[in-house]
Amino acid sequence: MPAWLPRFVRPRLLKEQGIVGMNARNARYIAAWNARRFYPRVDDKLQTKQLALDAGLAVPELYGVVRTHRQIRDVRTQLPTYTDGFVIKPAHGAAGDGILVIEGWRGDRPRRAGGRAMELSELDDHMSNILSGMYSLGGRPDVAMIEQRVRFSSIFDSVSYRGVPDIRTVVYRGYPVMAMMRLPTQDSDGKANLHQGAVGTGIDLGSGRTIGGVRYNKPCREHPDSEQSIVGLQIPGWEQLMELAAGCYELSQMGYLGVDVVIDADRGPLILELNARPGLAIQIANGEGLDHRITAVEAHMVARETEMPAERARWAAEVFARPENTQPDEPEAPATATNPA
């Protein structure tokens, strides 16, 4: 248990700080606003990408899709044409499992993130494992997607271990309400997954600057591997990112949504995937509970007719901006509980 976390937290304190627990999230937000018929729009990454393309939202380029074992050999012969690398991932994977990042080539052999060269037969095996359902939810047969490798902005070089950092934004009924950047570490094996040891750093919605963060549920201010500060980093293309996140409401038809975006050095913010069940550690990273912000959105919507994504993003950036004198200091970690009602 973290040193700053008391062994018992009074429910009144949780309510005062606006902390949303898992029961409240599941009942008041996910069950109330996320209709089951729309889950395939976010659980199937291939469907998510097609919907985003149809809506004109920016996503990493899709190079190909492998649906059968017979297609593996044909697709593999095309891979050397992607000289800047590529990514192979399952359409129904979770927690980053099954994602293989190829950074380039060493002669006729693909080179993984970290520099290790692979045999082409290893790519065949990996795609075959994806098709068999090794990485999919419930072990169901899956399809393999081959995508553009994102070349992330160099501003994150000193605070990311090998992998690509991403930005998770929680969107409530079309309005961005909270965001954090997830930074890969050695413990997380280069994946931007908090459960595996990545760092989550809160972001001021008004400025797009990081404000300190959390790792293993403990507040932190530095990246554990590089010991570089994670406070005060400016996210490139922040206004565009906020508008992208807001636009995913129409795309998904879900009222409580996690939008994961990566920053490509050339193309700017790109939608990576959507999540119908975004976790709650984002509250610790931001030092603030979600409930007060969600209440503000509901009050705003009472007096408003339908707003476009850009309008919703601007409103959220203005209303949820942190005061100037609190930037870029690390927020105090809020009181929290594992599963408050």
Q: Which domains does the chain have, with CATH numbers?
A: 11-42+154-326 (3.30.470.20), 61-148 (3.30.1490)
Q: Which residue has tokens 């996140």? A: 245
pTM of the entire predicted model: 0.86
The rounded distance, in Å, linking the Cα atoms of 226 and 159 is 6
CB 282 within 8 A of CB 200: yes
Bond preceding residue 328 cis, omega within 30 of 0: yes
Distance (Å) of CA 266 to CA 54, 134, 152, 239: 22, 33, 8, 16
Return the exposure string of 42-52: e unless at least 16 CB atoms fall within 10 Å of the residue's CB, then b. bbbbbebbebb
pLDDT at 328: 44
Which pair of tokens denotes residue 299? 């009050």
Using CA atoms in the order 125, 133, 46, 110, what is the torsion angle rounded to 10 degrees? -20
> What does the pLDDT look like over 214-273, one tens digit per residue?
888 788 898 988 888 899 999 999 999 999 999 999 999 999 999 999 999 888 999 999
Q: What is the mean pLDDT of the chain?
A: 86
Q: Is 217 helix (H, G, I), strand (E, B) or coil?
A: coil
Q: By the 8 A CB rule, do 238 and 28 touch?
A: no
